[in-house]
Amino acid sequence: MNGVSCQPLLDRLTFALVKTGVISDLSKRKTELEKIKFCLGVEVTYSDVKINVQEEIQNLLDALYDKCEDHSKSEALAMKAKNQGSKAYLKKKDKEALNCFSESICLAPAESSVLPLALANRSAVLYQMRRYKEALQDMEWAEGACYPAALRHKLLVRRCRCYLSMGDIKKAREVLEACNNHIHLVPLEAKDKYEMEVADLKQKIENHVPTSSTITSQENLQQPSLYGGENETVKYITNAFEMKENDKYGRHIVAVEEVSKGSEVFVEKPYAAILLPEHHKTHCHSCFSRLLTSFPCSGCRDAIFCNEECRRASRLWHQYECGILHILSSVGIAHLALRILLITGWKLHCYIREEVVEGKVAGFGEKGVYNGPDLIDRYRAVFHLLPHFNSCLLEDQLQYCLAAILLATAISDKTNFIKENMDENGEKTDLDVPHLASAVMRHIAQLVSNAHAITQLMPSDSGGHSRVEQIKQIRVASAIYPTASMMNHSCKPNIINSFYKDVLVIRTTEDIKPGDQVSNCYGPHYCRQTREERQEALKQQYFFTCKCEPCTQPKYMKSEASWSGFYCENCGGASSWMGNEDPGGCNTENNEGVLLCLQCHRVQRPSAHLVYTCSRVNSLHESGEEAIRKGNLPDAVSLLRNAIQIGSKVYLPENQYFLRVRDTLARALADSGDYENCTLELQECLQFMEQRYGPESIELAHEFLKYSEVLELAAAVNDKLQDELRMVKKRINDIFTLNYGPQWKIYLSTCAVK
């Protein structure tokens, strides 16, 4: 998105209003509208510079509007990208050609003559890559975009070849008949070649011989089935759960019958969702699938989709965002707040805003249903999520106000949203920049505590050198799921979230008994962060003190201590580092932390010996990583073995930094082809991963995936490892089935286009 960001201005204005003391007046305004109007009227002088908030925001927007042309269609740029793709295709650089043709398709105006040519050319690349279904789709799009009749014979031949390669002989025969009927329309200079190609296809069809092996498109996941059927009053959750409300827990979800682990208990599409800017060119803007080929917006170059269906589904909001997406997406979660209103419409927002809630649980409609299928029921559920606005820091409140004003101003300046939401008499029904901004601000405050991160599993970037693929979880979008938002937090949740496209699928990770509360993890997890870190994060963002089991039981705190643990120099027991930074990979000498022994309870500063050993291990580790990057694997293995030998005298085996050193050694051994020794190092890591995350955790499953890749290579030359390999594959299947369901292989494959 060309690095557009409105955040520097918002930060500068916030800084000026804090320094001048004006921010204190913001706290005196009680409603969202009062706060917005106050900010719009602020004018201060700071460092001899006069600052008018409204003018500053408008000036920034005017500068960004001047760049809107950079996000519109361009015939010239589309032609340039198409020509670059053609050159790459002739050089058999398929990936480069694919990217160039896709760029051309995004740049080409809807009526451009370049568009159908680029689509047809991309279909040729896809055919070459054996992505036949995608090639067929591009050919269909090319014909729908008025592909030249004089060239249609090329598409007919390619289409027939695709069906033949896919083994669909019936379709191949149908297209072959169309090829024969088309012969008299083929230009004279191309006729001889065409007739030879058709004759060749006829022969291959008669012999039923596929031209090459097929790489199929990703399979579709079957729609998950809620355990026990869907709840009649709270939509998108199992009938085995219900929503309750009391003073202690607020609205929350509890089980009314026993539910076994691995059961699908929530299946919910978001009310609204936004794709993060860094994924705008790689994912569908509607369903968030990672794309090999894209179907562009007809009005701008920024939004791409899977197909016409996804493009049509996006019209509700993209009709307003088209051409200014680069501005709206530059303010983070505030963009999602605005999209909620674009989807809802102003009249419905006003109706729900004025609705009387007394006598019923907030969010339930007239028929006693929460988050029902109609837009009015779904928005009601969103509107009544708690905003916690007055609990936010004043600086955060100010930021929300400024972001909301910026977005409302852009919508007012560049779209018909306000005009289209006038009443029958042409009145704006209290819709102007202050009112729109106040509604956006309310939703921002709700989203800070209620938005979900949509994540996907993708291969990590290892520079293309490692033989063992590393998988990491990437955040691709933010969304609001009103039913899932009813779950309270626990640092040790009894469910796990997964996503197929934009659909949130939640499964139980343990057996749940009647009366048990169903708890989600809002981010701070007991296996990943210390109690102190979790409590601080939850207070800052969610405004409560967590009292779950890991936050109150001493056994969990002892386990956390080992993550940064050392051998006590006094008694040899486990000594935990108490400081701002883990001393494992940093300069302990300059760190003000201390070591607390959990056995002899001695508190002491790290000795000179420990400081030197940590520094030495860190230096060897860094040198080993550098040797791997340079391809000097023997040196890397030697350096890393030395680091582990020295480090094992001071680090506890489960120390997270020391485990990273072991993992780096395993990578160096794998890359050098020493798979058996690599498996030994990974076994050490697995032991402590299981101890930390649990025997059925998704973290352990991903570590097992890495281990199985190496084990398979080792077993190829050592049959004694085959039994171990079978056991590991079964373990992987069991864990992933529990967390992602029986279709987990398809789920993982849809996360990344390889």
Are residues 251 and 124 located together in one domain of the fold?
A: no
Q: What's the confidence (pLDDT) of residue 457?
A: 74
Residue 541 within a domain = no
Containing domain of residue 200, as a range?
76-207
Residue 754 within a domain = no
Q: Which of 438, 455, 479 is the last residue of a domain?
A: 479
Residue 686 within a domain = yes
Residue 40 within a domain = yes
Token readout for 157 is 């031949």
Q: CATH number of the domain at 488, please.
A: 2.170.270.10
Residue 120 CB partners (closer than 8 Å, separation 6+): 138, 139, 142, 147, 151, 154, 155
What gap in Å lies between CA 499 and CA 267, rounded to an integer? 10
SS3 452: strand
Whole-angstrom Cα Rg for the chain: 30
CB 502 within 8 A of CB 270: yes
Q: CATH number of the domain at 642, please.
A: 1.25.40.10
Are residues 344 and 281 located together in one domain of the fold?
A: yes
Q: What is the largest CA-CA distance in the chain?
A: 94
Are residues 116 and 194 located together in one domain of the fold?
A: yes
Long-range contacts of range 695-704, CB-CB < 8 Å, 24 or more positions apart? 696/509, 696/734, 696/735, 696/738, 696/739, 697/527, 697/735, 698/496, 698/735, 698/736, 698/739, 699/527, 700/735, 701/732, 701/735, 701/736, 701/739, 702/471, 704/728, 704/731, 704/732, 704/735
Are residues 194 and 248 located together in one domain of the fold?
A: no
CB 7 within 8 A of CB 75: no
Token readout for 129 is 């890559």
CB 257 within 8 A of CB 511: no
Q: Model confidence at 428, in pLDDT bands (50, 70, 90)?
A: low
What amino acid is encoded at 455 in this protein? T
Q: Model confidence at 392, in pLDDT bands (50, 70, 90)?
A: confident
Q: Is the pLDDT of residue 752 over 60?
A: no
- Burial label for 447, CB within 10 Å (0-12, 13-18, 19+), is buried
What integer is the mean pLDDT of 239-249?
A: 95
Residue 449, CA distances (Å) to 246, 268, 544 in order: 20, 18, 11
What integer is the mean pLDDT of 565-575?
A: 90
Are residues 263 and 359 located together in one domain of the fold?
A: no
Residue 544 within a domain = no
Q: Which of 180, 207, 234 is the last residue of a domain?
A: 207
What gap in Å lies between CA 596 and CA 562, rounded to an integer? 11
Token readout for 652 is 């506890």
Q: What is the mean pLDDT of the chain?
A: 90
Are residues 393 and 314 located together in one domain of the fold?
A: yes
Residue 71 within a domain = no
Are residues 319 and 430 located together in one domain of the fold?
A: yes
Classify residue 649 by its DSSP letter.
T
Q: What's the confidence (pLDDT) of residue 391?
A: 84
Residue 85 CB partners (closer than 8 Å, separation 6+): 96, 97, 98, 99, 100, 101, 103, 104, 118, 121, 122, 125
18-27, 219-228, 280-289, 420-429: segment of lowest average pLDDT: 420-429
Are residues 245 and 394 located together in one domain of the fold?
A: no
Q: What's the confidence (pLDDT) of residue 213?
A: 47
What integer is the mean pLDDT of 76-92?
A: 97
What phi, psi does 297 have (nearest 5°)? Answer: -65, 145
Are residues 529 and 624 located together in one domain of the fold?
A: no
189 beta partners: none
Residue 345 within a domain = yes
Q: Model confidence at 356, in pLDDT bands (50, 70, 90)?
A: confident
Q: Could you give the percent of the chain with pLDDT greater than 70? A: 92
Are residues 250 and 280 located together in one domain of the fold?
A: no
153-157, 205-209, 410-414, 663-667: segment of lowest average pLDDT: 205-209
Domains: count for the chain: 4
Give tens-digit pLDDT for 439-456.
999 999 999 999 999 988
Q: What's the confidence (pLDDT) of residue 464?
A: 46
**What is the separation of C-alpha 306 from the centre of its chain, rounded to a whole number of angstroms?**
17
Residue 549 within a domain = no
What gap in Å lies between CA 340 and CA 113, rounded to an integer? 37
Are residues 103 and 240 located together in one domain of the fold?
A: no
SS3 502: coil
**Neighbouring C-beta atoms of residue 148, cutoff 10 Å:** 12
Are residues 145 and 202 located together in one domain of the fold?
A: yes
Q: Is the pLDDT of residue 219 over 80?
A: no
475 beta partners: 455
